[in-house]
Amino acid sequence: MSSIKTLTYRSAGTTLTRTFARRSYTTASRSLPALAGARSILAKPAQLAPSAKPAKPASYNNIHCTPSRRAYATSSSTMKALVFNGSGVVQLQERPKPTIQTSTDVVVRLTKTTICGTDLHICKGHVATCTPGRILGHEGVGVIEEAGSSVNKFRKGDRVLISCICSCASCDYCRRGMYSHCTTGGWILGNTIDGTQAEYVRIPHADSSLYNLPDGIDEGALVMLSDIFPTGFECGVQNARVAPGSTVAIVGTGPVGLAALITAQLYSPSQIIAIDMDENRLKVAKSLGAHATVNNSSGKDAAVARVLELTNGVGCDSVLEAVGVPASFDLCQRLLAPGGTLANVGVHGTSVELHLEDLWSKNVSITTRLVDTVTMPMLLNLVKAKRLDPAQLITHKFKFSEMEKAYDTFGAAAKHSALKVLIEME
């Protein structure tokens, strides 16, 4: 039996509501606001801030979470999951375990997962394809619990990395390497089907949507390869045509922007300039290999002047937009050198202005992309060779029972000096 309790929190004229089920049985408890919206070789440890306790009650951008008072008891057919219950409301609930629906599915028992900036967009009601009742999350690692009869590459007990993109590997888009546009897959986890912020998840097209975990590598580090590193590398570095000796500007040093910063160094550019309004993140960017940093909190004109000074008045060959707001896209256009490329990585929710009056004669290119994760095997090889250390972006760790607290921390990233939070199953 259960009863439903609703908590209402009012702050600055805004009312936020959190509803949760309170069970009549108990078990033992198992023990970027400034740059939100971005879509995450050198093994140097970043100087990152330690985990901080979030304020209670917590609120951010019309999302409200209150940590559960009791542990959830689960039967053999149920599990704990983080559920999106409508704009501004997420809740840790008991839900049925997923089952095999087609012969190419597997069911994975999660061991570690994380939270993405896109999950915050969903929580704020900005992703129309994700409806209330959906289990969130599209990143994680785990162990195969059950495999469909047509799955050839994996079997029960295999340790796997889950790609944020599901690919059938046979449709026209997949054959062209555009897995994100797969006609029966793409970005569906935590969007149109239940995702990875749960004890178990169903993965469609398992043979082409999972990767074996290498032995001897920290699982938490590999979670960072589910999304942010392929996104930063494919949508940012590759699309921006970073090349040996080129000059690179990265506008936005959140997790994806920093992943782009790290992987851009694979191509030996002569200069990487990190631009942000958050001084702590700029310090992290410097520790991860940025040659110069620019704080643009004083305005675009000052930032442009500083970048031109750093590039002998020319501008940058490759400019990566990793924020997703009109102001940052405008800044990126002003940083382009003749013949340069602007790679849009950020998730934009509003229209932006294209300054063709300035760009029409500069021979520039502007690229867009939704991550395809086609570079996942290469990134895994770099991790195995110790040329890539994704764990550098993990700043906070939480148990799965603390999922609401993890959302509070990640949603107030600047306050807590948070980059990526790692969620560990119990």
**What is the rounded CA–CA span in Å between residue 139 and residue 162?**
6
| The domain boundary residue, chosen from 368, 391, 415 | 368
183 and 246 inside one domain: no
Q: Which of 347, 368, 389 is the last residue of a domain?
A: 368
Please report, for residues 19, 233, 335, the alpha-carbon distance to residue 169 in angstroms, rounded to integers and kept in the order given.
41, 21, 38
Q: Which residues contact 93 (CB under 8 A, 6 or more apart)?
A: 21, 72, 80, 81, 82, 83
pLDDT at 63: 62
pLDDT at 387: 96
pLDDT at residue 64, as a whole number: 57
363-383 residue pLDDT tens: 999 999 999 999 999 999 999
- Domain carrying residue 415: 78-227+373-424
| pLDDT tens digit sequence for 125-156 | 889 999 999 999 999 999 999 999 999 999 99
Q: Are residues 115 and 91 in the same domain?
A: yes
SS3 223: helix
**Considering the domain boundaries, does residue 202 fall inside one?**
yes
**DSSP run (H or E) holding 175:** helix 172-175
Is 340 contained in some domain?
Answer: yes
CATH number for position 108: 3.90.180.10
Whether residues 122 and 218 fall in one domain: yes
Looking at 353, 368, 383, which one is the last position of a domain?
368
Into how many domains does the chain fold? 2
Report pLDDT for 87. Answer: 79
Residue 76, pLDDT score = 85
Task: Assess whether 95 and 203 both reside in one domain.
Answer: yes
Count the neighbouring beta carbons within 10 Å of the beta carbon of residue 91. Answer: 19
Same structural domain, 201 and 147:
yes
CA-CA distance, 382 to 387, in Å (whole number)? 5
Q: Residue 334: give its domain's CATH number.
A: 3.40.50.720
Query: Is residue 28 one of the residues assigned to a domain?
Result: no
Which residue from 371, 390, 373, 378 is spatially nearest to 235, judged by alpha carbons?
371
Query: How many Cβ atoms from other residues are within 10 Å of residue 243's Cβ?
Result: 13
Strand pairing partners for 147?
A: 106
Side-chain-side CA neighbours of residue 18 (13 Å): 21
Q: Compute CA distances 267 → 82, 254, 262, whole Å.
A: 39, 21, 10
- In this structure, the answer to whether residues 269 and 389 fall within a common structural domain is no
Residue 414 contacts residue 394 (beta carbons within 8 Å): no
Q: Name the DSSP letter for residue 221.
A: H
Q: Is residue 411 part of a domain?
A: yes
Is 12 inside a domain boundary? Answer: no
Indicate if 304 and 176 belong to the same structural domain: no
Residues 106 and 219 in one domain: yes
Rounded to an integer, what distance in angstroms lies between the CA atom of residue 106 and that of residue 354? Answer: 44
Residue 382 domain-assigned (yes or no): yes
Instruction: Specify whether 240 is located in the same domain as 219.
Output: no
* Residues lower than pLDDT 50 in the chain: 1-61, 66-71
The span from the CA of 102 to the CA of 158, in Å, is 19
Instruction: Let me know whether 95 and 158 are in one domain.
Output: yes
pTM of the model: 0.83
Asked, for residue 190, whether it belongs to a domain, the answer is yes
Same domain, 177 and 247: no
Considering the domain architecture, whether residues 182 and 301 belong to the same structural domain is answered as no
